Amino acid sequence: MGKIDVMGNRRGQIQMGESVAILFIFFILIVFGFVFYMKILGSSAQVEFEENIQLQAIGVAQRVSFLPEVQCSRDNVRKENCIDLLKLEHLDEIVPTNQLHYFDLFGFSRIRVQQLFPPGDDLAVYDNVPDTFTDKLSTFIPTSLYDPRTGDFHLGVLVVEVFS
């Protein structure tokens, strides 16, 4: 009688052990699957994040190229890829006092104009570099620089650096 009892108990324990083992393996598989899925999700989120930064950089470059504060115009007819040097010289006076407005347009970025020919100084358009950043995307836009005093056009490049 006692032997049968022990046998029955053991069989029950074995069955229980089997169930627990199956559940254990099942959960391990779920965890593996979940980790794998999260990894894929994470990498696609990273790709999306990088795409967003690139879009942001393009957006900033486009905005600054067509900014009325610096763009050349004659009788309100705009010249594309042209920066008025006189306008640019005065922009640095209004940017610091209207930081919030320009932050909406350019965010964390540094925008400057390099005069290549004839060689000249770099001119700052906007400078707001965060204390810490993980990524920096630079865009270089060849542009002509117009000096209204002399009527001369110089060759330059608009450097747009976006930080994230």
Partner 1 sequence: MLRKKRGQMEIQFNWIFVLIAGALILAFFISVVNKQREVTLIRTSSSVATNLESIFTGAEISTNTVNVFDLPQTTVDFECGSYAIGSVRKQTGDNAVFAPKRIEGRQMITWARDWSVPYRIMNFLYLTDPVIRYVIVNNSKNLGKKIYDTLPREMNKEVVSNTLDALSALTDRNDPHIRFVFLGVKNDYPLQLSLQNVDNDKISAIAFPDLVGTSTIPRFGKVEFYEKQGNSFGTSPSKTFYMNDDALYGAIYAGSAEDYNCAMRNAFSRMALVSSIYVNRSLELQSFYGSGGCFTFHHDRFLSVLETVAGDLSLLYPPVNDQALSNIQDNIVSLKNEQNRQLQLLSCELVY
Contacting positions for partner 1 (CB under 8 A): 5, 8, 12, 15-16, 19, 23, 26, 30, 34, 48, 52, 55, 58-59, 62-63, 65-66, 68-69, 71, 73-76, 78, 84, 86-87, 89-91, 93-94, 98, 101, 104-105, 148-149, 151
Q: How far is CA 60 from CA 27, 102, 123, in A?
A: 48, 11, 17
Taking the complex as a whole, the smallest distance from the CB of residue 116 to partner 1 amounts, in Å, to: 23
Name the minimum Å distance from CB 161 to partner 1. 18
Residue type, 92: D
Residue 149 tokens, joined: 């005093």
Dist. CA 72–CA 83, nearest whole Å: 5
CB 45 to partner 1: min, Å: 8
Give 13 or 138: the residue with its C-beta nearer to partner 1. 13
State which residue, 116 or 121, has the beta carbon closest to partner 1. 121
Q: Which residues, other chains included, contact 99 with Cβ-Cβ below 8 Å and sequence gap of 6+? A: 128
- Comparing CB distances to partner 1, the nearer of 39 and 90 is 90
Nearer to partner 1, 58 or 116 (CB): 58
Residue 69: which of 97, 50, 37, 92 has the closest Cα?
A: 92
Q: Which is it for strands 136-147 and 77-84: parallel, antiparallel or unpaired?
A: parallel
Tell me the DSSP string of 102-160: HHHHH-SEEEEEEEEETT--EEEEEE---SS-S-EEEEEEEEEEEETTTTEEEEEEEEE
Judged by CB, which is closer to partner 1: 99, or 116?
A: 99
